[in-house]
Chain A
Amino acid sequence: MHNNVNINVHHITRVEGHGNIVVNVKEGKIEKLQWQVPEAPRFFEAMVRGHSYQDIQTIVSRICGICSITHSLAATKAVEAALGIKVSEQTDKLRILMHYSEQLQSHVLHVGYLAAPDFFGTPSVVPLVARAADAVKTIVKAHRIANTWSDLIAGRTTHPVTLTPGGLTKIPTEKQLRQLQQTLKDAVPDLKKIAEVVLSVAANVPKFERPTEYVSLKQTTPPTYTFYHGGITSNDNKGAVMPIEKWHDVANEYVVEQSTAKWTKWHRDAYAVGALARFNNNAELLSPMAKDAAKVFGLQKGCCNPYMNTVAQLVECFHVVETSIEIIDQLLTRGLKTEKVTSSPKAGKGSGCVEAPRGILFHDYEFDKNGKCVAADICIPTGQNHANIQKDFEKLLPEILDQPEKDIRLKLEMLVRAYDPCISCSTHFLDVQFVK
């Protein structure tokens, strides 16, 4: 056991935004151990006030470059709930296809570019090319397929333009859908290759467990491994499903000194959201290939090793691809129809909830009789994981205090990265120094 440990990781790399890890151990006693999120709070809600219900999804799509489709979908669903707008089955299926494209984009990005370097012991994906060129090329190929998929359904890779209250402004042709389906079928061997590569270094996934509450969507009619429909559940909620409108009673947001982001808690002092939460609440509903992938990694329902969230994401890659192939079959069998999208303003309040790649996301909006937004509230998944990361730290550190300081630091960093946090999701401007 070390008498003294001092770790100050400012702006942890390979996560979205800023987060700090602070550890002070003096004479074997932990004096300070914090997961800090020091970013200035962002007032996205204020950005949409005064805007028309028709523009909300476009504005919020700019909150994040990774989850832009997810934010747009949550907003669109909330607007439709507020205004009592129903959408067709075709729109519903196309939106789910759109959503799955982002799940694949984000998961491949996290598993392949952000987490893999930890397992291979390289600082980033760039030096990994020299060590495992084929693996990196396969990851890039899968990521590229996901991007092109988003382009087709959302009208753009990032910041979708086809979503509108009541439907979609543009739909793909049947020929394009057939091509997409073939591309997805052809991508399956690539996903298997990525899984093999991750499996080859899976021994480097730290062995750590801490039982916690896992919160996600759950869809019972029909039973589905859901990212889009259903209500809110958790392993502590005895199988009960809460309507999404009650999300404030789940999140119970509160303020802590060490973070500018609000923390959340439900039945315990913290809960986790994300791929592992979805898996723990819905694993039996995964597609056959996804179940096989979970089995290969020994990932089982009830897993409480947060590092396995990355593996759960990989499992979900198989699910979204396999399920999308089926959805395209259903769409093509029925034949795509051009649908007229109409909506009219009215006063109302509504909630929208979808699973972002990194966990459950809530949007609330209220509109006046002219359809102008008068109130908005957004609760992002990363914010819901902050308290859980802190609680993980508090159990993990005493278990690894006898390890070299650099290993302690790496394990804490890897833990944060496993949650795939997206801390600020907003600006990205460059800061350069010229050589000449």
Chain B
Amino acid sequence: MTNQSQKKDTIVIGLGNILFSDEGIGVHLIRKLSENQGKFPSVEFIDAGTGGLNILHLIANRKKAVIIDCVKMGKNPGTIKRFEPADVKTVKKMMHFSLHEADILRIIELSRQLGECPDQIVIFGIEPESLELGQNLSETLTDKIDLYIDTITKSFS
């Protein structure tokens, strides 16, 4: 069983479903980031898939949480944007708004009320091009993987 005191200060969580093309970008990026775990000893990388409310437990009592997810922002496909929970007024699931696949803002609010929320939460949203059934990312997102990794790793410091 994981000891709370053994937790690393920063957690980077990749969300998404790899069965639906770009929907799985968060998971794909976590896999890539994990290959360089040695460079980031105080960072824990987690592929949380569509685990929803489990985020509550993953972020508990960390100093910093970084969440990577496919986000519909009305931007050009492939755009990566960094934001914090306070920057957005609604975070809803297009297909699955529910507390099973929980609204991240609501999870963060619950975390705050329980007194275990990280001081800093950063979300990296990536605009999808394709959400069709398929286990490969679109070419647009594939071509930008290095850019995404670079942008995200800069936030660890």
Give the contact-size bracket for chain B: 35 or more
Q: Is the CB of A429 within 8 A of B94?
A: yes
Does chain B have a CB within 8 A of A99? no
> Is A431 engaged at the interface, CB distance under 8 Å to the other chain?
yes
Interface string of A36-62 (1 = CB under 8 A from B): 000100111011000000000001001
When the two chains form their complex, are residues B1 and A66 in contact, meaning their CB atoms are under 8 A apart? no
Q: Which residue of B lies closest to A176 (CB)?
A: B1
Q: Which one, B32-40, B46-54, B144-152, is touching chain A?
A: B46-54
Complex contacts, B2 vs chain A, CB 8 Å: 148, 151
Least CB distance, A235 to chain B, in whole angstroms: 29
User: In the bound complex, what is the Cα–Cα distance between A65 and B98 (angstroms)?
Assistant: 12
In the complex, chain B residues whose CB is within 8 Å of the CB of A16:
96, 98, 100-101
**Shortest CB–CB separation between residue B61 and chain A, in angstroms?**
11
Partner of B16, one of A68, A130, A428: A428
Choose one: B71, B88, B98; the contact of A15 (CB below 8 Å): B98
Q: Which of A90-98, A136-144, A372-380 contacts B (4 or more CB under 8 A)?
A: A136-144
On chain B, the residues within 8 Å of A68 by CB distance are 49
CB closest chain-B residue, reference A429 = B70
CA distance A262 to B30 in the complex (A): 36
Q: Judge whether A124 is part of the interface by a CB distance below 8 angstroms.
A: yes
Q: Quick check: B106 and A429 within 8 Å, CB to CB? A: no
Given contacts A13-B97, A151-B2, contact A427 B23 (CB under 8 A): yes
State how many residues of chain A have any CB contact under 8 Å with chain B. 60
**Are B50 and A428 within 8 A (Cβ)?**
yes
Contact assessment for A179 and B1 in the assembled complex, using a CB-CB cutoff below 8 Å? yes
B66 within 8 A of A: no
Q: Are A126 and B110 neighbours in the complex by a CB distance under 8 Å?
A: yes
Q: Is the CB of B133 within 8 A of A429?
A: no
- On whether the beta carbons of A65 and B47 are closer than 8 Å, the reply is no
* Contact call A430/B104, Cβ cutoff below 8 A: yes
* 0 or 1 for each of A108-136: is its CB under 8 Å from B? (1 = yes): 01000110000000001110011000001
Binding site for A on B (CB under 8 A): 1-2, 15-20, 23, 47-54, 56-57, 60, 69-73, 83, 86-101, 104, 106, 109-110, 113-114, 125, 128, 131, 133, 135
**Contacts A62-B50, A430-B125, A434-B73 known; 20 new A-B pairs at CB < 8 A:** A14-B99, A16-B96, A17-B95, A43-B133, A64-B50, A113-B99, A137-B114, A157-B51, A183-B1, A426-B20, A426-B50, A426-B96, A427-B131, A428-B93, A430-B69, A430-B72, A430-B92, A431-B72, A432-B90, A433-B90
